[in-house]
Amino acid sequence: QVEGLGPDDFTDPMHRQVFTAIQAIVQVGQPLDPRELRDSLDPALWDGFDALVKLSESQPQGADDEQELENEVVVTAVRIRLAQRKEQLQRLSFAQSDPETMADADQAARLRAQADGLGQEIDQLHKSLAERSLLGRRRTAGG
């Protein structure tokens, strides 16, 4: 349960559906079982889900305690949101490079405001990530 993270933060449709399925399970208070989670997904996504599970099993288990695990989850969530916001900003920048789009003063102003807002959010996400990463290193070092 990561505050502010939602399905729209995932650009890959499979990841979005996996996230939504996890949310549904967590919201009703059930334990998260990968087999049950897989069964709740569209069968067309099973191969991709199996690959994700296999990948996660091959990764080193870094978190030794609950606080460290929580920090790793938040760092991952911030990275996901940061990637999504950067992608949004890139799409806005592309739209702003279109002379026809920018010819409409109101549309141009809206796009600039959106880009400014995304830029500020990206800066905040970078700061949050730096703070969380530093916090994680301090905990790992015993400080």
pLDDT in tens, 23-73: 888 888 888 788 888 888 889 988 888 888 887 777 666 556 667 767 777
pLDDT in tens, 90-102: 999 999 998 888 8
Amino acid at 61: Q
End-to-end CA distance of the chain: 26
Compute the C-alpha angle 27/7/58, nearest 5°.
85
Percent of the chain with pLDDT over 70: 84
Higher pLDDT, 32 or 3: 32
Distance CA 117, CA 59 (A): 35
Distance CA 110, CA 120 (A): 15
Amino acid at 42: D
Distance CA 41, CA 94 (A): 34
pLDDT in tens, 29-42: 888 788 888 888 88
- Whether residue 111 has pLDDT greater than 80: yes
- Identify the pLDDT of residue 131: 83
pTM of the model: 0.62
- Identify the pLDDT of residue 2: 58
Average pLDDT taken over every residue of the chain = 81
123 token code pair: 């800066």
**Per-residue b or e along 14-29, where b marks 16 or more CB atoms closer than 10 Å to that residue's CB:** bbebbbebeeebeeee
- Identify the pLDDT of residue 68: 75
